[in-house]
Structure formats: structure tokens, C-alpha cells
Structure 1
Amino acid sequence: MVEDMQVLTSPGRPAGDEPVGDSLDQDVPRFRVLLAAALGPLVTGYAVVATLLALVALTAQHAIFSAGGVLLSAGPGWLAAYQVELGIGGHPLGMLPLLPTIGVVLLVARAAAKAVRRLRCARLRHAVPLIATISGAHLLFGVLISLFSIGEPVRANFWLAAVVPAAISGLAATGGVLRRFGTPQVLVDRLDPLAFRGLRAGLLGLFALLAAGALTLTAATALSARTVSSLFEPSFGSSFGLFLLSVLYLPNAVVAAMSFVSGPGFSIGSLDVHLIGYRGGSVPGVPLLGGIPEHAASWWPVLLVLPLAVGVLVGWSVRAVDEDPAARLRVVVVAGAVVGFGCVLLGTLAGGRLGDGPFDPVSVPVGVASIVAFCWIVIPAGFVAFFAGAHAPMRPVGSLEVEDEPEAEAEAESAESGDAEPEEPEPDEDVADPAEAEETEDAEDAEDSGDSEDDEDFDAEADAELGLDQPEDEPETEAAETEDKSEDKPETPAEEPDAVTESTEDSGDAKPAEDDR
């Protein structure tokens, strides 16, 4: 019985350690996950475009609904969602709506993130086949639509239809994967942390500028409510089509309003609108454009407060990034560069060709807009980040003087000692100390012996003057003893002249005393 239980139990996993819960994700084949991630956004996007076209065809007057026609027309509409320029009857259509583009990017990113979770990718490089599969599927689908459009009224360039959807889907899938894994460690190790902080601040500034443009567009539309309402057709079908067109092009209008608020403005054909100038022209009869004024106003420069406030916001957000003001200024410069690049990208996508009529082209001066946006971020944000951030505490004047004086005195003393005699290494001084001590002791002993000899000579002179009898041999004996003592004691250069002088004086004094006697 025990042997049977051992056979039934898996040798690679202990009994009772089986996974609890739904294990569907573990059993799903890898191919199915990749196929779902690649075809899911394609089918969903195509279905949404076909549904919108069907609604427009059903609600429009004098329109013949055809399921086949709607499905065929959805192909160029799908390419338009990926910003592929189309040709309608030989006329270019490059100004394409940004709202569908935002939708497909989010759709692809979500599909990629979900596939990474189901595939249980442990590292970022494991998701590279997933990104390649999604991008390759979009490339093939774009090529297929361009081939079916040959000979049709709405056509697409073969290379653009293949490359642009593949590039946009690849970037979107990469974004979804990075959202799952986070920033690659290679970039974290090699890039300055201040650069990442500047990137975040730049994205904040870009979204704030877009919010300022959206606020301006909303205010202009509200002030021109009568004009906007007059542009809608009486019939429901036509009004629905105009409303749908306005909604799809709403992000384009926000980008144009952002450019208007920051200064450079925008142009539609011969119409040129910016803060310090206005050149009139015809405007398409779309409710979204009903807020465009017919002439300039003297109060428009007041709107420059909005980008100024955005710059202050960016500076305030980075005031505590670093204690060094120079580091904060570098973050501000990075943020300004991000905003400038974002203006170039959004301005390029928001404009384009609009047929060959009076409304062609619709454009935003991306070069000027990027430079102006950079200045709107860097100048006010630099001031705020520099003065509102942390600074090193300044020392009091008194403390500076007290600390400087000892340093100056120490420098002067070291200079004098250096001029007087060169400094010796510490080990030599330590070695020389005992020798110097011995020499000092010998000199002191010599001085003591010299003093005792002087006392004896003085006593001898005193006895001679008093006339005391001394043996004749005594001076010789004393002289011999004196010579022996002088030989034993160390001779010092300073004491030898004194000894000679004293002996000479003694001899001179003694002779007159003997003569007197």
C-alpha cells in the first residue's frame, strides 16, 4: 500500500504541495498568447472603425448602406487611426484625427502588458519576441490593406501602410512591457538620476501646457456658443457626423490651442492666428472650429500668464530634488528639452495636408513652438527652482573673522620657521633627543667642575695675600691636579678662553704678593 502511494505521488514535488487555485495561465500555450496579443488590437480597432462608419452611413440622408462597402472602407479608416496619409481621389489627406491614434496606442499597450503577465516573463529580454510579434502583425495587416486599396477611390502608400503601423504598435507594446517591468536596470545604472527627474518634470510641464490649451479651447467654444450651434445641420444624421468629426479631431484642436497660448499660434490655409497678430481667411464649417475669432483682440497677451504658470509649476515641483542649485537647474533644462520635443511631436501629428483646397495645409510652426515652449519652462522654472529650493546656510561675519585669524597666524609662523631652518622629519627628532640630553648633562657637569676650580684658585690667592706658609711642593701638586682634572673633563669651546684667562690673571696676582713679602 505504501509503495502504491509513493508511485502516485510526484517525485519532483512533495505530497500536499500541489498549487491551489486556477492554473489556466500555466496551461495556456505560448503560441496562443502571442497570437491573441497580436491580433486582438487589430480586430478590435478594425471593428470600432467599421462600427463608426456604419453608424454614419445609417444616420446620413440619401446614403445607401452596404455591409461590404463598410468593411472595405474600414481598412483606410484603420490606417488613418495609425496616422498613415491617405489619398482621396488624388488629393492628399494628411491631417488625421489624433483621438483614434491615442485609442489604438492604449489598446496595444494593454494587450502587451497582459501577454507579459500570462507568459510569466521573468526579464525584459524575454518580452522581445512578444513586441516583435505585435509589430510584425501590424506590418502585414497594413500591407494587406494597401494591396486591397489599389484601384479604389481611397488609397494608401504601400511603404507608409507597412512601416507606420508597425512602428507605432512596436512603441506602444514596448510601453506596455516597460509598465510591467519598470525602467530597465541598464538605463538606471548609466543615466543620471537627475535626468529621470527632469523627464518626469518635463512630462508634467507638457501635460500642463495641454491643459492650458484645453482650457483656452473650452472658453473660446463657450463664448462662441451661438456660432457653434449654427454650424450643426438640422437633420440628425448630418449633425451626428459633424459631432463625431469634432470629437475625433478634438486632440488636434487642443494642440493648436496650446500653440496659440504659448505664442506661435496655428494656421489653416490662409488663416493665421497667434497672440500678437491675425491674418483672416476661410475656416471649415466644423463645430469644433466655431471658436476661432474673426479678428484679433488687444487682451490676448494676457493669456501668456498660463504658460508662465506652467513654468512656475515645473520649478516648484523640482525645488527639493537636490540641495545644490546647479543640480536643480540641470533638472529644469532636461524638463524644458522634454517639453520642446513633445511640442515638435504633437505639432507634427496634429497638422498635415487637407486636400488641395483653401484649407490646405493645417499646420503648427513646430520649430518656433518648441523653442518658445522650452523658454517658457526653463526661465520661470529656473528662477523658482533656484530661489525656492534649499541653500547651504551662510556663516556669520564674526565667525568668519575668528576662524581666519588663527589660520593666518599659523601660516605666518610656518613661513618664518621654514625660512629660519628646514624642518626635520619626526623620526630624526626622536632619535636626536637622547643625544642632546646627554650633551646637556655633560655641559652642566663641566660647568660645576669649573666653578669648583675657581673656588680653589680664589682660596689660594687669599692665603697668599694673608701670608700663610705653604710648602714649596704644594703649588706644583695643585698644578698637577688641575692639569689632570682639565684632561678628564670635556673641553667646551665656550669655557676654554675663560680658563686660560683666569690662570693668567692668577699668576699675575701671585707674583706681586711674593715680592711684597
Structure 2
Amino acid sequence: MQLLTSSGRPPGDEPVSDAPEPLAEVRPAGRVRVLSSAAAGPLITGYALVTALIALVTLAAGRFSATGALLAAGPGWLAAYQVQLGLGGHPLGVLPLLPTAGAALLVVRTASGAVQRLGLGRPGQAVPLVAVITGAHALFGLVIAISSLDTPVRVNPVPACAVPGALAALAATAGVVRRCGLPRAVAERLDPLAARGVRAGALGLAALVLAGALVFTLATVLSMSTVDNLFEPSIGSSFGLLLLSVLYLPNAVVAAMSFVTGPGFTVGSLEVSLVGYRGGDVPALPLLGGIPEHSAGWWPALLVLPAAVGALVGWSVRRVDDDPAARIRVVAVAGAVVGFGCVVLGTLAGGRLGDGPFDPVSVPVGVASIVAFCWIVIPGGFVAFFAGAHAPPTPPNTVDVGPDEVFDGAADFEDEDGEESEEDAAEEAGDESEAPEEPGADVGEQDEFDAEAEAELGLQQPEDVVVEEPDPQVGTPGAVTGSTEASVDEKAPEDDR
């Protein structure tokens, strides 16, 4: 019986309560508004922060000028995006990493919020958003570079356009990937062991940065008297030095990380590493007060830190797979990720510093990446190999056919007592026999074959073999007897009756 309260919808068209509600469609005007806000928001906010920072420094120094702060904010914004500047004809490529991290985080949050407001659900839908943010940053950098051609601070228009655009593209992509389901799509196409290796590599890189931060902190604390003497007596100058030290703090941590792993860093003629030291002058910046004046014999003991990081990576992947070789591959992927991260961080942390005695400030990224890879792979592979499970090796010529049953392929070729089968013996002797014939073959040919076989074996077939005809009363076939004439005579009385 059909209920009268049916909604009249065709079968299969009923709403499902557990299905997610469709995202509200954004009108074209609202879409343009969201895209414009995502493109201009990071530019305006970043420029305002740089202007406020410059105004604060000039105010502390007693040279505040609103117009000067606004004009100087342009090159400062480019410096935050790692664009090399020219100060009076001298290059400035050692740029602070802390503003760069802040600018990237701002773009990430802006892109993520725009994805939510637009209701984007697939990676392809976010391409216009990333393109708009990238184009706005590239255009803004080009405008600043062109407007600074007649000023003491000059910028090359090509990197001023390309570098901010590339950094904004990476940050915007990072902001939209999670909300658009890109990690799941990538995970479905990526080897699980490789994905696990990437995560372990991120853990290893973060641990190495933490080790560098610990060493930098220790060196600063032990040299606190030197750091205190580098501050100027005036409040404005001291505030400016403190601000520069804070902005360049990530650069110092990266240099300390390179020192811990072994290659070290250079500042002009100064070279500091665990295996060598060459003295030289350094800028009078409190951040650099912890740089030692000579080498120490206990420095090689710091190699325990990168070895511990490698062991940590190996311990984190000890349960990835029961096969030790698979765990070694995961550790190798993690080492590659750490090596690549060292190249990126070392490149961003160094650069040109004028044309004087402090130029250049650099980290040997090539050597640092190889050394970091070895610090992850060697101790990490050792720990991953011995700390994880070991699957028992499969015997040769063995196929698993069930949980409690094993098929041994060699049993087909050897008997239980270790002797070879008749087929193998016949093949070795050169006596190849014909395959058994299918049912329905000629009986006469089979009898001739049996007779020849018995003749070869030395058996004589009796001439008086009697083939008994089937008994019509019983209906069973008679037996073929190989008896003598005596057995035939025993049957004779019954035949007479």
C-alpha cells in the first residue's frame, strides 16, 4: 500500500540527511570583491607595518619624518621580500629573514580566508586566486623599483618584480592547498613511504634548526659582556641595534645550524667552523657578539647534536614497515628533504654586505646540504634498521598458499628420501616416454605397448591366457586371468552343467 504523504519525487531523488550542504554560490560582484581584497590586503598591511617600523626607529633616533618614512618604506618592503638593494652604489644582499617569514605568513592567511569566502573546494578553482595575488605582488614590486631610480636606494626592476611574485605564489599556494583538498589528492598519487619520508625530513630540518638555536643562545649567554659593550650609549641608537638584531635573528640561527653540522659560515675574511678557524673583523652588531675570537678544542663535541637529530629521524620511522630496506628508503627521502632545506635556508640567510671587509656573508650551501644529508642518513638508517621489526626471510622456491600451509616447489622433483623421481631419471637416461593418452584411445595399441614393456622387462606372457566373457546373468565383466591350464580346467565342470 502506497502512502499518500509521499513528496512526489522520483525514486532515488530524496535528500540525504548525512550529505554535506552545498556551498553557497558567490555572485560575480562578490567574487571580484574577494579577489581584490586578497590581492591588495597583504600589500597594504605589509607596507603599513614597514612604514610604522621605520617611523619608530627614526622617532627613537630623534629624526622622525612622515614623508621620509613613507618613501623609505618602499625599499624596506622589497627588503622584506628578499630583493637585493643598492645603497649609494654598494650592494646589500644580506636581508633579514624575520620580515620575510612575516610577509609569507600574511599571504598564507589571506589566501586561506579568500578560499573560505569564495567556497572553493577543488585545487583547480584556486588557480585564479593564486594568480591574482602573484600578479599584484609582482606589479607592486615593479612600481617601487621604477619609483626609486632617482633615489640613493636603487633596486633592479627585474628582481623587484620576480622575487616578490615568486614568494607570494609559494605562500598563496600553501594557503589554499589544505582547504582545496590538494594534500589528499597528492597523497593518493604519492608513494606512502615517500610521503612518510617527507614528514620525517621536515621533523629533521626543524630539529637541526632547533639545535642551531640552542648553540646560538649558548654562545650569546657566554659572551654577554661583549654583547653589552656593543650597544650605544644613546637610547635611539641602542634601540636601532636591538631592532636589527631581532630582525636578523633567523639568519644567525641558520649560520649556527651550519656551524653545528660542521661546514660553518663566513663573514668577510672571518671563517668559523668545527674543523677550522680564521679570524677577521665583524660588524659591531650585538647579534654577532657571540662569535668566538678563536677556536676551542671542545667544539667537535657539538657533533653529538646532529647525530642525535639523525637518530631521532630513524626512531620516528622505525614502525613504518617490517622490511628494513623500506625503512632505509624512508630515511634516505628524509635526508634529501633536509639537504634541500639547508640549501634554501643557507641561500636566504647570506648575501652581499657592501664592498668592504664584511663582504660577503655566506653559508657554504653545497657542503652544508651534503653534510646534513649524511647526518640524517647514517645515524638515522642505523637506528631505523635495528630498532624496527625484521620480517623473516622467505625460503627459496617457497610459495605461501595459506596461513598454516606452505608449498615446497622442490617436493615435486624429489621424493621424501631425496631420490629423484622416475620422470627425471627417465629424462637423464634419455628414455622419453609418450604422454598418457586421453580416454577413448585404441585398446589394441595400449595392449601392444604393455606387451612390449613386459618383453623389455623380461616377463613372458602365458600363451593360454583366457579372457572370460561377461556373465550375462550377473552383468559384471569377467576377469582377465593370467593363470595356467589348471585354472581353466577348474572352470570346466561349471561350463558343462
2:49 is paired with a residue of what secondary structure? Answer: helix
Match of 2:40 in 1: 39
Match of 1:127 in 2: 126
Amino acid at match of 2:214: L
Match of 2:271 in 1: 272
Match of 1:369 in 2: 368
Whether 2:447 is the aligned partner of 1:442: answer no
Q: Distance in 1 between matches of 2:175 and 2:466?
A: 91
Task: For residue 191 of structure 1, report the CA deviation from its aligned partner.
Answer: 3.0
Whether 2:337 is the aligned partner of 1:350: answer no
Whether 2:341 is the aligned partner of 1:332: answer no
Whether 2:425 is the aligned partner of 1:416: answer yes
Match of 1:59 in 2: 60
Contact 1:231/1:287 (CA < 8 Å) preserved in 2?
yes
Match of 1:464 in 2: none
Q: Whose helix fraction is larger, Structure 1's or Structure 2's?
A: 1
Task: For residue 80 of structure 1, report the CA deviation from its aligned partner.
Answer: 0.1
Task: For residue 187 of structure 1, report the CA deviation from its aligned partner.
Answer: 3.6
Match of 1:384 in 2: 383
Amino acid at match of 2:386: F
Contact 2:39/2:136 (CA < 8 Å) preserved in 1?
yes
Structure 1 segment 9-158 matched on structure 2, within 5 A: 29-60=30-61, 63-158=62-157
Task: For residue 47 of structure 1, report the CA deviation from its aligned partner.
Answer: 0.7
Relative to structure 1, is the Cα distance of residues 290 and 429 closer, same or farther in structure 2, using a 3 angstrom cutoff? same
Task: For residue 334 of structure 1, report the CA deviation from its aligned partner.
Answer: 1.1
Q: Give CA-to-partner distance per residue, 1:373-420, whole Å, 9 cap, x none.
A: 111111111111111122113699xxxxxx899677337125225557
Q: Distance in 2 between matches of 1:308 and 1:126?
A: 44
TM-score by length of 1: 0.77
Amino acid at match of 1:293: P
Relative to structure 1, is the Cα distance of residues 27 and 416 closer, same or farther in structure 2, using a 3 angstrom cutoff? same
Task: For residue 323 of structure 1, report the CA deviation from its aligned partner.
Answer: 1.7
Contact 1:260/1:266 (CA < 8 Å) preserved in 2?
yes
Task: For residue 226 of structure 1, report the CA deviation from its aligned partner.
Answer: 1.1
Q: Give CA-to-partner distance per residue, 1:214-265, whole Å, 9 cap, x none.
A: 0000010111111111111222211111111000000000000000000000
Contact 1:124/1:184 (CA < 8 Å) preserved in 2?
no
Match of 1:482 in 2: none
Relative to structure 1, is the Cα distance of residues 220 and 25 closer, same or farther in structure 2, using a 3 angstrom cutoff? farther
Q: Distance in 2 between matches of 1:184 and 1:158?
A: 35
Amino acid at match of 2:350: G
Q: Distance in 1 between matches of 2:426 and 2:439?
A: 19
Gap regions ≥5 residues in structure 2: 1-14, 16-20, 396-407, 451-464, 469-478, 492-497
1:138 is paired with a residue of what secondary structure? Answer: helix
Structure 1 segment 398-417 matched on structure 2, within 5 A: 409-410=414-415, 412-413=420-421, 414-416=423-425
Relative to structure 1, is the Cα distance of residues 144 and 452 closer, same or farther in structure 2, using a 3 angstrom cutoff? closer
Query: Which one has a bigger Cα radius of gyration?
Result: 1
Match of 1:236 in 2: 235
Relative to structure 1, is the Cα distance of residues 423 and 190 closer, same or farther in structure 2, using a 3 angstrom cutoff? farther
Match of 1:313 in 2: 312
Q: Distance in 1 between matches of 2:115 and 2:352?
A: 39
Q: Distance in 2 between matches of 1:305 and 1:124?
A: 43
Amino acid at match of 2:41: G
Amino acid at match of 1:442: V
Relative to structure 1, is the Cα distance of residues 434 and 234 closer, same or farther in structure 2, using a 3 angstrom cutoff? farther
Q: Distance in 2 between matches of 1:441 and 1:241?
A: 126
Match of 1:297 in 2: 296
Contact 2:310/2:377 (CA < 8 Å) preserved in 1?
yes
Relative to structure 1, is the Cα distance of residues 186 and 445 closer, same or farther in structure 2, using a 3 angstrom cutoff? closer
Match of 1:393 in 2: 392
Q: Distance in 2 between matches of 1:315 and 1:446?
A: 79
Relative to structure 1, is the Cα distance of residues 431 and 85 closer, same or farther in structure 2, using a 3 angstrom cutoff? same
Task: For residue 425 of structure 1, report the CA deviation from its aligned partner.
Answer: 5.2
Contact 1:116/1:177 (CA < 8 Å) preserved in 2?
yes
Relative to structure 1, is the Cα distance of residues 430 and 242 closer, same or farther in structure 2, using a 3 angstrom cutoff? same
Whether 2:176 is the aligned partner of 1:174: answer no
Amino acid at match of 2:265: F
RMSD: 3.1
Match of 1:498 in 2: none
Relative to structure 1, is the Cα distance of residues 164 and 447 closer, same or farther in structure 2, using a 3 angstrom cutoff? closer
Q: Distance in 2 between matches of 1:134 and 1:93?
A: 27
Q: Give CA-to-partner distance per residue, 1:484-516, whole Å, 9 cap, x none.
A: xxxxxxxxxxxxxxxxxxxxxxxxxxxxxxxxx
Match of 2:476 in 1: none
1:251 is paired with a residue of what secondary structure? Answer: helix
